Structure 1
Amino acid sequence: MLDLALTGFVFVLLGLGLRKPFLWVLAYLYIDILTPQRISWGLLASLPISLIAFVLAFAGWALLDDKRDSRFTLRQGLIVALLVYCGLTTLTADYPESAVEKWAWVWKALVFAIFLPLTLRTRLRIEAAALTIVLTVGAIVISGGIKTLGGGGGYGSLRLFVPDNAGIYEGSTLSTISIAVIPLIWWLARFGTLFKPGKLVTLFALALTFAALLIPIGTQTRTGLLCIALLGVLSLRAVKRRFLYLGLAGVVALAAIPFLPESYTKRMSTIENHQSDQSASTRVAVWEWTWEYAKHNPFGGGFDAYLGNNLRVETVKAVGTGNNITYHSEYHIEKARAYHSAYFEMLGEQGYPGFLLWSWVQLLGIWQMERIRARWKDRKGPGENWQAPLANALQLAQLIYFVGALFIGIAFQPVMFMLIGLQCGLWSYLRRIDNPARPRFAGVDGKPVLRTHAAVQA
């Protein structure tokens, strides 16, 4: 029944695109995040449904969509440069077969991030894309939250729609993304027009936020805890009653501790002393190896260059209790261990040029969202209250990603590049509508027709 419903929904969504081609863009967002073809065991599993949606989205825009208001931004140009550079390093990769396998999905994430802003030429489209991302991630989050409440969590053992511990379904990655979309959840709840603000929308936003906060507990990931802490601190910027907010946050945190699984609290304790945890010690060793590797290979080793590492990892274990504790060092040999950090992933795979391009794309987004927030936050005119909060939500999402990326190799995570596409689309749209009205088309009897702010929004 699930397979039938999932297959029917995908084909109905693709069919509706024949009437509204932009729906193919939303269909690709949905399929690329949820990967229904991996959930299905029937027709969807046998079809390249992601590629079909990818081609339809591009063809629909190129052949049927109005492109007069499409703009190409600097960040899109930087992503193009990153795409070309990654293609070149793939050709000269240390491990060609593995590099080609990763390139097969990386290029789609980058190309779609370049393409998405070209389609986001109205507020409705920007909101629809944000809503699709939030609800699709929300479907995974709700499933994980329910299973966590039912006691089905555990590090690497929280069963979601897809049993594979890869992509968005990897525990630390899902924890980061689930916390990153929380600001977007509340932007949609406050300013959405597809689902207008009200009690039911607020109730759903509360429930979805609660489910998102449960994901780091269900997956027992340290990264998720750090992302929650950062979100709490960053939210102070937009909160009016900050002392009340801090007090309530402290009460909630203290009240939640007795209900946390013992296995979760033990795992979180390794944040303070990483040497007691082999996994954390291995990460530090990989980062040291990558730093040295980049010195000798400044242009990177291509995708999955980490396969060449050979590490001697030291862990420290405490034996005894009270005042009779002694510490013993143990050594382990680790080979081909992943980077466990997007920053070192970029440095090892793409070298200094790739790392600088990727960093430029990321940091420029923070700056652009701050510019939008500063420019629109004090405006009181009709239809001018949603821009600054959306920029703030997208900025918070990216900052949370920055923290999660410290400990996970998610430099090319497709969902985050979708959010970058949203940022580019918002930046381009607001720059266009904020320009003074000027003649664009000839009207009746040769008189110009002005495209005003209100006309563009419509």
Structure 2
Amino acid sequence: MIDLALLAFIAALLLLGLRRPFLWVLAYVYIDTLSPQTIGYEYVAALPVSLIAFCAAFGGWLLIDGKHGARFTFRQGLLLALLALCAFTTMHADFPEAAAAKWDWVWKALVFAIFVPLALTTRLRIEAVLLTMVLTAGAIIIDGGIKTATGGGGYGVLTMFVNDNTGIYESSTLSTVAIAIIPIIVWLMRHGTVFPPGRAVKLFGYALILSCLLIPIGTEARTGLLCAAALAVLLLRDVKRRFLYLAGAGALALVALPFVPQSYWERMGTIETPAGDESASTRMAVWDWTIDYAAEHPLGGGFDAYRGNSFTYHLPQRVVEGSTVSIRMVEVTDRARAYHSAVFEMLGEQGWPGLVLWLWIHALGLWQMERIRRRWRNRTGAGETWQAPLAGALQLAQAVYLVGSLFQGIAYQPFILTLLGVQCALWTWCGWPIRRAGARPDATPRPRRARPRMP
């Protein structure tokens, strides 16, 4: 039954796109985020629904949709350069088969991030993509939040829709995405036009935010705690009553303490002592290996180059002998361990050029959103009050992702790459650098004075 419902919904979106081709863009965002082909077990799983929606989105824009306002930005050019570099390193990868498997989905994520700003030429379209991203990810998050609230959480135990620990369903990735979309949820609650602000919208929004906060607890992902702490600190920038905000946050934490399982606190306690945790010690050893590898291979080793690593490190182990407790160092040898960091993932796979491109893309995004936020925050005219809050929300979402990406290999995460595409679209819409600073985006050009014709 679930399989037929998913297939019917996807078919309805594709059919509606015959009249409104932009719906095919939303269909691909939905499929790429939820991965219904992994939820279904027969019809949806047998069809290449992702590829169909991908081709429909591009074909609809190229052949049917209007191109007015579509512009190619410098940041899209950087994404294109990163795509070309990934193609080059894939052809010269240390592990060709593994690299080809990762290339199959990375190129689509990068191409869609380059393409989507060309289709987002109006406020409604920008909002529609963000709403689709939030509601689709929200479906997974609500499922996980309900299971956490009813005692179904735990490290490696909490499952959402499918028992799959890849993509957005990976516990640390989902925790990062859940915290990152909270500012976007708030913006949709206050400035949305598809679902205008109202009691029902606010009630659903607050419930969804609560589910987002429950995901790091249910997954017991340490990255989720770091992302939540980072967002709490970053929100101080826009809070008017900071002392009241800090008091409220502290009170909320105290109220939540009795409901958090002991296993969560035990796992979070390993953050303070990373040297005594095997997972953290392995990550640091992998990072050391990656730096040495990049020194010998400055262009990287292609996707999944970590499969060639091998290292030995010492881990403290607690030994109990009767009433005596001692600590001894145990030698541990590990091989083919993943990077567990987007920074080192880029360095090991795409080398120093890839890392520079990746950092440039994200630094430019933070700078562009800050420019929009500062330029538009004092405007009060009709249709001029949503740009600055949206830029701030997208900036916060990106900052949370960057914090989470320090401890997990999500450099090419499709959900985040689409978010970067939305940033490019907002930058183009607000007229940077096309319009002059201070010019109104809806201002009409002054009519030219007619010159007298020569007799």
Q: Shorter-chain TM-score category? A: over 0.9
Instruction: Please tell me the residue identity of whatever aligns with 1:362.
Output: H
Once residues 293 and 410 of structure 1 are traced to their aligned partners in structure 2, the CA distance between those partners, rounded to angstroms, is 20
Q: Helix, strand or coil: the match of 2:161?
A: coil
Matched AA of 1:87:
A
Partner in structure 1 of residue 159 of structure 2: 159
CA deviations 1:414-437 (Å, max 9, x no partner) are 000000000000000110674553
**C-alpha distance in structure 1 between counterparts of 2:446 and 2:12, whole Å:** 41
- SS in structure 2 at match of 1:314: strand
Q: How does 1:232-311 map to 2 (within 5 A)?
A: 232-311=232-311
Measure how far apart 1:182 and its partner are. Answer: 0.5
Task: Give 3-state SS (helix, strand or coil) of 2:306's partner.
Answer: helix
Alignment partners' CA distance in 2, 1:400 and 1:415: 13
Tell whether 2:93 aligns with 1:86: no
- After TM superposition, the score normalised by the length of structure 1 is 0.94
Matched residue SS, 1:422: helix
Residue matched to 1:228 = 228
Correspondence for 1:135? 135
Q: Secondary structure at the match of 1:138?
A: helix
- Gap regions ≥5 residues in structure 1: 443-458
Q: CA deviation at 1:179?
A: 0.4
Matched with 2:405 is: 405
Instruction: State the secondary structure of the residue aligned to 2:110.
Output: helix
Contact 1:341 1:409 survives alignment (8 Å): yes
Q: For the Cα contact (< 8 Å) 1:275–1:314, is it kept in 2?
A: no
**Separation of aligned partners in 1, 2:314 and 2:167:** 29
1:189-216 CA-partner distances (Å, limit 9, x unpaired): 0000000001111111110000011111
Mapped pair 1:375 → 2:382: no
1:27-46 correspondence to structure 2 within 5 Å: 27-46=27-46
Q: CA deviation at 1:319?
A: 4.5
Matched, 1:357 2:364: no
Q: Which amino acid aligns with 2:416?
A: M
Alpha-carbon displacement from aligned partner over 1:19-65 (angstroms, at most 9, x marks no partner) = 10000000000000000011011211100000000000000000011
CA–CA distance in 1 between the matches of 2:348 and 2:79? 19
Q: Residues 44-63 of structure 1 correspond to what in structure 2 (within 5 A)?
A: 44-63=44-63
In the alignment, the residues of structure 2 paired with residue 426 and residue 4 of structure 1 have an alpha-carbon distance, to the nearest angstrom, of 37
Q: Distance in 1 between matches of 2:307 and 2:401?
A: 25
The residue number in structure 2 matching 1:328 is 328
Residue 445 of structure 2 is aligned with which of 427, 438, 443?
438
Structure 2 CA distance for partners of 1:72 and 1:439, relative to 1, 3 Å: farther
Q: How far off its partner does 1:320 sit?
A: 5.9
In the other structure, the counterpart of 1:448 is none
Once the two structures are TM-superposed, the CA of residue 330 in structure 1 deviates from its matched residue by 1.6
Aligned partners of 2:234, 2:320: CA distance in 1, in Å? 41
Q: Deviations over 1:234-260 (max 9, x none)?
A: 111111111000001011112212211
Q: How many residues align?
A: 440
CA distance in structure 2 between the aligned counterparts of 1:398 and 1:209, rounded to whole angstroms: 17
Q: Offset at 1:325?
A: 5.0
Amino acid paired to 2:428: S
User: How big is each residue's C-alpha offset from its partner over 1:324-350, in whole Å with a ceiling of 9 and x where there is no partner?
Assistant: 653221222111000000000000000
2:381 counterpart letter in structure 1: G
| Equivalent residue, structure 2, for 1:425 | 425
Q: Which residue of 2 aligns with 1:117?
A: 117
Which residue number in structure 2 is paired with residue 149 of structure 1? 149
Shift of 1:275: 1.7
Quote the residue 1:206 is aligned against. 206
CA distance in 2, matches of 1:183, 1:390: 9
Structure 1 CA distance, aligned partners of 2:29 and 2:211? 21
Mean Cα displacement is larger for which, 420-429 or 159-168?
Answer: 159-168
- Supply the AA of the counterpart residue of 1:438: P
Structure 1 residue 157, shift from structure 2 partner = 1.6
Q: Give the corresponding residue for 1:75.
A: 75
Aligned to 2:451: none
Unpaired stretches in structure 2, ≥5 consecutive residues:
449-455
1:336 counterpart letter in structure 2: A
TM-score by length of 2: 0.94
- Alpha-carbon contact 1:176-1:224 (below 8 Å) kept: yes
Where does residue 414 of structure 1 map in the other structure? 414
Q: Which residue of 2 aligns with 1:453?
A: none
1:175 corresponding residue in structure 2: 175
Matches of 1:212 and 1:416 in 2, distance apart? 16
Structure 1 CA distance for aligned equivalents of residues 136 and 415 of structure 2 = 10
> Alignment RMSD, CA only?
1.6
Q: Secondary structure at the match of 2:197?
A: coil
Q: 1:230 to 1:317 in 2, by over 3 A?
A: same
Distance 1:439 1:3, change over 3 A: farther
User: Conserved in 1, the CA contact under 8 Å of 2:227 and 2:404?
Assistant: yes
Contact 1:148/1:214, CA 8 A, preserved across alignment = yes
> What does residue 343 of structure 2 align with?
343
Amino acid at match of 1:377: R
* Contact 2:178 2:212 (8 Å CA) reproduced: yes
Q: Does the 8 Å CA contact 2:68/2:121 hold for their aligned counterparts?
A: no
- The alpha-carbon deviation at position 276 of structure 1 amounts to 1.7
The answer to whether the 8 Å contact 2:343/2:405 transfers is: yes
Q: Secondary structure at the match of 1:107?
A: helix
- Which region of structure 1 is more displaced relative to structure 2, 258-267 or 360-369? 258-267
**How far apart are the structure 1 equivalents of 2:404 and 2:331?**
28
Which amino acid in 2 is paired with 1:355?
A: L
Amino acid at match of 1:316: P
Output the CA distance in 2 between the equivalents of 1:84 and 1:317: 46
Deviation track 1:242-283 (CA, whole Å, cap 9, x = no partner) reads 100000101111221221111111000000001221111100
